[in-house]
Structure 1
Amino acid sequence: MADDWRGRPGPIAVLTGAGISTDSGIPDFRGPRGLWTRNPIAELASTYQNYVADPQLRVRAWQARRDNPAWKAEPNAGHRALVDLERSGRAVRILTQNIDRLHHRAGSSGRKVLELHGNMLEVVCVSCDARAPMRETFDRVAAGEPDPACVECGGILKSAVVMFGEPLDEQVIGEAAVYAQKCDIFLAVGTSLRVHPAAGLCELAVGSGADLVIVNNEPTPYDELATEVIREPISEALPRIVAELIAAV
C-alpha cells in the first residue's frame, strides 16, 4: 500500500530543492516561470568556467545577486513543517540543494541541515579560498567596485554557492550519502532531481531499503522508483505529510 511508508519509525532524510521556497517568493530554476527559463543569461552566469573567464558576466552577476528576492524572503509553511518534524523527536536530516538559508531561519537546527550546494550569505575567493560576508561585498559594489577582488590575494570572488562545473564538497556529499543509506523514508521535496550527485541520493536510498516519496509539481526522472508521488502544492502537502508522520509513530 502506498501509505505504508508513513508508519515506518526509522530516520527520515529530506532532500529539498528550489520548489520548497517558491511560496516564499523565490522563483525556481527550470519551471515554466523559473529563473533560467525566463533569463538564460542567469544560467550562463551560474557556470564556473564562464564566470571566471568573463569580467562583464561577473559584473552582471554581482548586480543580480544584489537583486535576488531571497534577501527579502521569509520561511513558509513547508519550511516550518520540517521544523515541527524535528521537534517531534523524529530522527531527521535535511539535505538541501537550496542556498537561501530559509531552513535555518524557520528554526531547523543547523546541525540537522546539510547544504549540498553551499549558501548565498558568503563570498569565496577562487584562488585562495578566503571567505567574507556577502553583505560586506555588496557594500564594495555599491561603493564603486563592479567586480570586487579578494582583499587577501586579489583573486576573483564568487558567491559561496557551488556552480555548474565545480565539484561538490566531498565531505558534504559523503555525509548526505550516509543519511540516504540509513533512512527509512527519503522525501524529495520541490526538486527536479536532474542535478547530480544530489539527485542520485534517491537511488541510493531506495537501494538501501528506504521508501522514496516525491513531492513535486513536475515529473522527475525518479518517479518510477518512488513509493508515492505527490503533485500538490508543497506548502499544503508537506504540513499534512509531517502531521501524518508524527501521528503514525
Structure 2
Amino acid sequence: MSLHLVELPVDLRQLHLWAGARQVWGRGSDEGLTLHHLLGEVFGPGVLQPFRLMVAPGARQGTLLAYADHDADALRQSAEISQTPSDAAAIRLDRLRSIPRPGTAWRPGQRIGFDLRMRPVVRLASPLSGQTKDGQPLIFRKGAEVDAFLARALRGEEVTREAVYLDWLAARLLPGAELERETSRLASFRREIAVRDGRRIEGPDVTVLGTLTVTDAAAFARLLASGVGRHRSYGYGMLLLRPPQRPR
C-alpha cells in the first residue's frame, strides 16, 4: 500500500468567495465543511482525505495537507478536466506537490512523533443528564454526539480534560500503534461550531502533540490513510508525522 502526502496552497479570500457563491456559508461558518465540498468537486469525493488546513495568524493564504492514494501529477491531471475558474482561484493546482509515504517504511517498535488535530467525541449508548458549573441543566438523548470529556464528567468521574482526550486517542490508535503518554500532551483546546447536514453542532477542537510506537505496520498504514476519529472528511484526524517528542 502506497500513500502520498499532498501539499496544496489555499487562497483564503477566494475560498470564502467560493463558499458564498455556493451558499456553503449559509449553513454556518465552517472552513472544514467548505473544503470538504471544494475538494470533492475538484478531485472527487474522499480523494484528499484526511486533510488539514494550516494557517498562520492573520495570513491570507493557507496550506492544505492531505493523504491520497495518487501522486501530484495524477491528481493534477484528474482535476484539470473538471476544475472551474472559481475552483482555480481558491486552490493552485500548478503548485500542488506530493511525496510518498510507502507502507514499507513502518516497522513494529518504531517510535514516531505526531501532530494531530482531532474532534474527541463519543456517541451515547444511553441518555445522559447533569448540569453545568453554574447549575444549568444538561440533557443528552441516546445516540447524541458529546464531548468525550463532558460525557465522563457528567458520569461523576474526576478526570482532567487532557487525560480523557489522550485516553480517547489511545483507543483509536489501536491496533496499529500505542500512544506514549509521557511524551504526549494537549497542545490546544477550543470549542468549535461544526455544520453537519444543515445542523450546527458544538464540540471540542483539539490539537495533540505526541509520540506513538508502531505495533502493527499494516494497521498503522491503514490508520494514516483513514485518519483518526470522527469528522475525518472535514479537516480532523490527519496524523502529521514528526520526530519523536521529548518527555514532559
TM-score (norm 1): 0.23
Which TM-score applies when normalising by structure 2?
A: 0.23
